[in-house]
Chains A and B, each alone.
Chain A
């Protein structure tokens, strides 16, 4: 049974919600976190596991990423459970001429915004990632701050610490209704009882829309299905998260139907290599399909021929909360006091989650955030 009252109810136990609950608990707020699924939530339970800012665009996009990366680093010292955060730098590889203009445009934007990236030649790329295909490599982009983590361990770690600080966390519990009276949030009804509260954080990721409907707010977040493959464990052989520059060229392709794909490769601390990714409009279907499994394998093999005899032990797919401008929705919704958005992180939730959690906590406690987030308010869509 959930408590009868709480100062803040966070809906969604993935990385955003868990970070918010943790930071709020640190500020001595009475927090209840409700998650409808398993420990570590949905998208946070299966993703590329990257803490990545290389491809973040100039402006609020990269600002959020840099702010959040700092929080990842701090959490590594604060949390007890080792969540395997390793930041030895990230790499984008260029292996076709048509990718070059996209890369150059991006680099120019980043340079102008004060977060430059480093262009390196093929030889330098191969020095740090010897497994890459020498035949097709043209060069790369390097970003020293990027890395990988274990988001499942991170979320579970955030949950454990939050509970130690007094937060109450419930899994396999659904939010059924949110009570609003006179433009103010009054309570949340869950499958385990009703909680009286004046503050609700919608950190429901790909289900943020359904939560919004409960309070009459249109939340323009849709599920975007992406699939990845996992190899068996190997001695260290891939040393950085690697993204193919084709990703920047292809990213728009799957959104209007069909199967899109782009290369992402990284090796976890456990030794498994994560290969990805493919995307398609599959609503809430978590199954992986034959075409995407074979497509991801084919792409990976083109870039890393030595993967030929390495075995895939499973695939997985997940939904990433998509917004039309690729930016998250943060902040209180005008007209519904106490209803705070913290969703729509697209495929960047792992990197941005801790930062968003901290910002939401700041917003609730001090009304002031360490970086300005007004432009991320839901008002920008003009729907409510």
Chain B
């Protein structure tokens, strides 16, 4: 279901554009965005699976408290996507942070 979230064009001048890699796919991102935002704008909804029921989870609180946005970023598991700034070519993997 691509393209549900979208970037706002008016009212802001974006910084540099680059790409990040999410589960092997190249995804557009801009300087100043969090990985969570870039992922949302790419239409990716599920960031991980819940612990026991393996249900899909995405961004919920958006401010770094709920821990639902944990992904493996540049090899480090349990990294919060909503708090981590997107950097060029950073490697993001979903669903790998749970036991």
Interface residues of A (CB under 8 A from B): 232-236, 270-271, 309-311
Q: Which B-chain residue is minimally distant from A231 (CB atoms)?
A: B78
In the docked arrangement, what's the CA distance between A311 and B79, Å? 9
User: Is the beta-carbon distance between A233 and B76 smaller than 8 angstroms?
Assistant: no
* A233 to B96 CA separation, bound complex (whole angstroms): 11
The docked-state distance in angstroms from the alpha carbon of A120 to that of B67 is 40
Q: How far is the CA of A345 from the CA of B67 in the complex (A)?
A: 38
Contacts A234-B77, A234-B78 known; list 10 others, CB within 8 Å.
Answer: A233-B78, A233-B99, A234-B99, A235-B77, A235-B97, A235-B98, A270-B99, A271-B99, A309-B76, A311-B78
Whole-angstrom CA separation of A310 from B76 in the bound complex = 8
B51 within 8 A of A: yes
Cα A236 to Cα B99 in complex, Å, equals 6
Q: Which residues of B contact A233 (CB under 8 A)?
A: 51, 78, 97-99
| CB-based nearest B residue for A309 | B76
Chain B contributes a number of interface residues (CB within 8 A of A) equal to 9
Cα distance, A235 to B95, chains bound together (Å): 11
Distance in angstroms between the alpha carbons of A187 and B77 in the assembled complex: 56
Main secondary structure of the interface of B (DSSP, over half): loop
With both chains docked as a complex, state the minimum distance between the C-beta of B29 and any C-beta of chain A, in angstroms: 22
Assembled-state Cα–Cα distance A271/B96 (Å) = 13
Please report whether the interface of chain A is mostly helix, strand, loop or mixed according to DSSP: loop
In Å, the complex CA distance between A270 and B99 comes to 7
Chain B 68-83 interface 0/1 with A at a Cβ cutoff of 8 Å (1 = within) = 0000000011100000
B96 touches A235 (CB 8 A): yes
Closest to A236 in B: B99
Query: Which of B51, B76, B78: most chain A CB closer than 10 A?
Result: B78
Would you call A235 and B78 a contact (CB within 8 A)?
no
> A310 contacts B99, CB within 8 Å?
no
Task: Please measure, in the bound complex, the distance between the C-alpha atom of A309 and the C-alpha atom of B96, giving whole angstroms.
Answer: 15
Contact partners of A235 in chain B: CB under 8 A: 77, 96-99
How far apart sit A381 and B99, CA to CA, in the bound complex (Å)?
47
Which 4 pairs, one residue from A and one from B, show the smallest C-beta to C-beta distance? A271-B99, A309-B76, A233-B99, A232-B78
- CB-CB under 8 A from B76, the residues of chain A are 309
Give the contacts of B43-78 with A (CB-CB under 8 A). Answer: 51, 67, 76-78
Set of chain B residues within 8 Å of A236, measured between Cβ atoms: 99
Q: A310: which of B51, B78, B98 is its contact (CB, 8 Å)?
A: B78
CA distance A311 to B78 in the complex (A): 8
Give the most central of B51, B76, B77, B97: most A CB within 10 Å: B77
With both beta carbons as reference points, the residue of chain B lying nearest to A268 in the complex is identified as: B99
How far, in Å, is A163 (CB) from chain B's closest CB? 26
Q: What sequence of 0s and 1s flags, for each residue 7-48 of chain B, a beta carbon within 8 Å of any chain A beta carbon?
A: 000000000000000000000000000000000000000000
Instruction: Report the minimal beta-carbon distance from A275 to chain B, rounded to whole angstroms.
Output: 16
- Which residue of B is nearest A235, CB measured? B99
Q: Considering the chains assembled together, what is the distance between the CA atoms of A234 and B72 in angstroms?
A: 11
What is the bound-complex CA distance between A232 and B76, given in angstroms?
Answer: 13
Does B78 lie within 8 Å of A271, measured CB to CB? no
| Closest-CB distance, A10 to chain B (whole angstroms) | 33
Bound-state Cα–Cα, A234 to B77, Å:
8
Complex CA gap A232/B98 in Å reads 9
> Which residues from A are CB-within-8-Å of B96?
235
Q: Chain A's nearest CB lies how many Å from the CB of B90?
A: 15
- A311 cross-chain contacts in B, Cβ below 8 A: 78
